[in-house]
């Protein structure tokens, strides 16, 4: 049974899939179906990170080919439809209220609030795909995801295309910028900064625009575009959920490990971790008592690699001296 919230709590612009995701979609039998979806290929990335000068990274240089910019709502709706066609029963819900594991029966009793009433569902296993909130895992363990970084993402969508149809990543004094074309001839600009550095201005159009004006390359390519939305702000720092390997409940995607968007690995990890979680539940059902612990160890290993690589990327930016954003993320 797939419990599906009807509406996303916040917009999720700027989503992209690495070319390697094609292998995951192929495992699901969805590679051909994805080609029919509305997605925009990305053949060029321009990066001003260690230096203010732009360097190019072209898709032709990578074995996996171009990344794809996707409309996240449409992508999620497509995957949900494919799950239903594969035999899943979809149920719209408003909130997941409670989960209790009956050790005698080896089953969960879950309280779910739907639009018309609250219902109870009995199941042998749970998969938490509720994003950074990790609602199910918090219900079961009483512990929120770990992670102390106060990185936030302030995004703004535009109803017009960028001056250049490439991805741009630019480091600035108070954070870094990501801008990219989107499906439907639209575009997006996202400011990644520290909550303390932003001081509440990231959610204000004038604060967002002032930060944008302080950039060089991003400002030039977004200049003159009409925004059809106020900035949307969300947490963006890395975090990892804690979960009890003695219970048949697995987090996937951001509910398991959320990555700094500088990696661009979020959607790929969501697909890969879901495949691994499915295999883990198959092994568990076959009597493998170590399957849950192995999955947890795998998630931790991926998270540790991400945090290590992230530190290396931030340490490479030394041109802003003791600017608070960079000082907080760099290691001596």
**From CA 155, how far away is CA 176, in angstroms rounded?**
12
Q: What are phi and psi of 36, to 5 degrees?
A: -85, -5
Asked if the model's pLDDT at residue 288 lies above 90, the reply is yes
Beta carbons of 103 and 63 less than 8 angstroms apart = no
Would you list the domain boundaries of the chain? 16-74+150-235
Q: Is the pLDDT of residue 7 over 70?
A: no
Q: What is the pLDDT of residue 5?
A: 80
pLDDT of residue 267: 92
As a whole number of angstroms, the distance between CA 280 and CA 290 comes to 9
Under DSSP, is residue 330 helix (H, G, I), strand (E, B) or coil? coil
Q: Which helix (H) or strand (E) holds 303?
A: helix 291-315
- Residue where the block lists tokens 């290929």: 41
For 30, the enclosing helix (H) or strand (E) is none
Q: 100 or 165: which carries more pLDDT confidence? A: 100
Q: In the predicted model, what is the mean pLDDT of residues 255-274?
A: 93
CB count in 10 Å sphere of residue 40: 19
**What residue has token string 């969960």?**
108
- What is the average per-residue pLDDT within 72-96? 91
* DSSP track, 96-116: EEEEEEETTTTEEEEEEE-SS
Strand partners, 98: 111
Decide if 119 contacts 112 (C-beta within 8 A).
Answer: yes
What 3-state DSSP class applies to 295? Answer: helix
Q: Which CATH architecture has domain 16-74+150-235?
A: 2-Layer Sandwich (3.30)
Contacts of 134 (CB under 8 A, 6+ apart): 128, 144, 145, 241, 251, 254, 255, 256
The answer, yes or no, to whether residue 9 has pLDDT greater than 60, is no
> What is the DSSP-derived secondary structure letter of residue 163?
S
Instruction: Determine whether 106 is exposed, middle or buried from the number of CB atoms within 10 Å of its CB (0-12, 13-18, 19+).
Output: exposed
Q: What is the mean pLDDT of residues 134-144?
A: 83
What is the CA 93 to chain-centroid distance, rounded? 22
Confidence (pLDDT) at 41: 84
Q: Does the reported pTM lie above 0.95?
A: no
What is the C-alpha to C-alpha distance for residues 276 and 282, in angstroms, rounded to an integer? 10
Residue 10 has pLDDT above 90, yes or no: no
For residue 295, pLDDT over 80 is answered with yes
d(CA 145, CA 254): 10
Question: CA-CA distance, 24 to 272, in Å (whole number)?
Answer: 6
* Tokens at 247, concatenated: 């219970």
Question: What pLDDT is attached to residue 72?
Answer: 86
- Beta carbons of 196 and 150 less than 8 angstroms apart: yes
């Amino acid at each position: 049974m797939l419990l599906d919230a009807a509406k996303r709590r916040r917009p999720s612009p700027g989503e992209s899939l690495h070319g390697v995701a094609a292998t995951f979609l192929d495992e699901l039998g969805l590679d051909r179906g994805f080609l029919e979806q509305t997605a925009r290929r990305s053949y060029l990335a321009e990066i001003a990170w260690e230096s203010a000068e732009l360097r190019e990274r072209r898709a032709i240089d990578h074995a996996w080919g171009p990344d794809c910019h996707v409309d996240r709502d449409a992508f999620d709706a497509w995957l949900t439809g494919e799950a239903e066609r594969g035999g899943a029963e979809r149920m719209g819900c408003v909130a997941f209220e409670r989960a209790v594991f009956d050790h005698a029966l080896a089953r969960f009793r879950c309280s779910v609030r739907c639009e018309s009433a609250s219902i109870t569902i009995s199941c042998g296993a749970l998969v938490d795909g509720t994003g950074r909130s990790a609602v199910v895992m918090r219900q079961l363990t009483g512990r929120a995801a770990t992670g102390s970084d106060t990185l936030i993402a302030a995004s703004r969508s535009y109803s017009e295309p960028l001056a250049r149809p490439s991805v741009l990543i630019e480091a600035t004094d108070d954070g870094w910028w990501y801008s990219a074309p989107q499906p439907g001839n639209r575009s997006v600009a996202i400011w990644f900064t520290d909550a303390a550095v932003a001081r509440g201005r990231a959610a204000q159009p004038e604060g967002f625009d002032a930060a944008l004006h302080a950039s060089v390359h991003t400002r030039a390519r977004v200049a003159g575009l009409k925004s059809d939305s106020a900035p949307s702000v969300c947490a963006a720092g890395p975090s990892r959920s804690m979960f009890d390997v003695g219970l048949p409940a697995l987090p996937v995607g951001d509910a398991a490990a959320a990555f700094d968007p500088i990696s661009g690995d979020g959607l790929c990890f969501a697909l890969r971790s879901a495949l691994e979680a499915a295999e883990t539940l198959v092994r568990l059902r076959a009597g493998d008592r170590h399957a849950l612990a192995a999955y947890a160890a795998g998630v931790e290993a991926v998270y540790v690699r991400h945090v290590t690589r992230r530190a290396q990327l931030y340490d490479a930016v030394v041109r802003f001296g003791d600017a608070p954003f960079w000082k907080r993320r760099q290691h001596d």
